[in-house]
Amino acid sequence: MKTAIFATKGYDKESFEKINANFGHELTFYEPKLEPDTAVLAHGYEAVCVFVNDQIDRATITQLAAGGTRIIATRSAGYNQIDLQAAEELGLAVVRVPAYSPNAVSEFTVGLILTLGRQIHRAYNRVRDNNFELDGLQGFELYNKTIGVFGTGRIGVSVLRNLSGFGARLLAYDIYRNPEAEALAEYIDDPVEMACQCDIMTLHLPLTPETHHIINADSIPLLKDGVFIVNTSRGALLDTIAVIEGLKSGKIGYLAIDVYEVESDLFFQDLSNEVITDDAFARLLTFPNVIVTGHQAFLTNRALQ
């Protein structure tokens, strides 16, 4: 099958070519994201392969259909970047990777909790400057903490499994109960009720109209003082402005995010010589109790395979 692969990096090309040796598809790699202005590159291709920050809206899909594309494959579990109604109307099939790197994301999630909770990132930077002072590096243990996992799909269950050895009280919320999660955690049917009990909240929900800005100016005051929020799922689960206010007031004590609600203008590119014009994102980077990573939780050798 003739396939155009968009938003590709070196690791994408390497992994696709290795796997494709067994199948013989005709692959063309493009660095730009798929969006209305680049959709013309896919003309004549039966399929396109896209990523999380591509813009597969009606305008893009209309161009794809006109060029003969019949399949949109997203190399992600989420698909909120794709206008499914437009795809259906124009006769394009949409496929995804529902079990995309659950262990990779869950291990990264736990790594963020441990790194920020024990100040490992700050200690690393100090030691590189020959500063071995311990003041300011006091952390906390997960033992006896209440940790809430919001979303108990494959990733959420993997997070629960990885956290089960720390001696923490584990809570879980999802509109659909998962038997695997029930064996690891106590389900709470009301997400607000669960959030109020959590010392640590980790989000593994899909982005839907119901979950958009689920952490917002109304919900943050209900949380425990000094709550630790982790988001390795979808950036728009958090209202960034409300979160910044929560950090400033101390209501949010720790924040670790691998996703950001308008990350498409930032992530997956080198901006080290550029001025960041997103004031909210720049403000997040000023807090000593915040870790931001560039949507890398999925990125392991096994996940790419």
Residue that is last in its domain, among 64, 95, 126: 95
Contact 247/220 with Cβ under 8 angstroms?
no
Whether residues 284 and 142 share a domain: the answer is yes
The catalytically annotated residue of 154, 161, 234, 261 is 234
What confidence tens digit (pLDDT) does each residue in 252-298 have? 999 999 999 999 889 988 899 999 999 999 999 999 999 999 999 99
Task: Compute CA 75 distance to the chain's CA centroid, rounded to the nearest angstrom.
Answer: 13
Q: Each residue of 124-143: pLDDT tens digit?
A: 999 999 999 999 999 999 99
Residue at which a domain ends, from 78, 95, 112: 95
What is the CATH classification number for the domain harbouring 127? 3.40.50.720
Could you list the residue range(s) of the whole structural domain that residue 185 is in?
102-304
In contact, 303 and 101? CB cutoff 8 Å: yes
Q: DSSP code of 56? A: B
Q: Are 205 and 234 in contact (CB under 8 A)?
A: yes
Q: Of 263, 274, 283, 302, which residue is the catalytic one? A: 263
List the catalytic residue out of 75, 154, 161, 295.
295
CB 110 within 8 A of CB 164: no
Q: Are residues 116 and 205 in the same domain?
A: yes
Q: What pLDDT digit, counting tens, does each position of 212-227 carry? A: 999 999 999 999 999 9
Q: Tell me how far apart the alpha carbons of residues 285 and 289 are, in angstroms, rounded to a whole number.
A: 9
Given a contact cutoff of 8 angstroms between Cβ atoms, the answer to whether 61 and 90 are in contact is: yes
Residues 254, 192 share a domain: yes
**Which of 43, 74, 95 is the last residue before a domain boundary?**
95
Q: What angle do CA 228, 233, 236 make, to 5 degrees?
A: 85
> Are 193 and 144 part of one and the same domain?
yes
Block residue for tokens 């190399």: 75
Whether residue 263 lies in the annotated active site = yes
**pLDDT tens-digit readout, 2-15:** 999 999 999 899 99
Is residue 101 within 8 Å of residue 296, measured between CB atoms?
no
The answer to whether the Cα torsion of 79, 82, 87, 88 is positive or negative is positive
Q: Are residues 226 and 181 in the same domain?
A: yes
Is 111 found in the same domain as 65? no
Both 154 and 221 in one domain: the answer is yes
Active site residue 210: no
Distance between CA 114 and CA 104 in Å, rounded? 16
Decide if 234 is catalytic: yes
φ and ψ of 110, to 5 deg? -65, -35
Domain count, the chain: 2
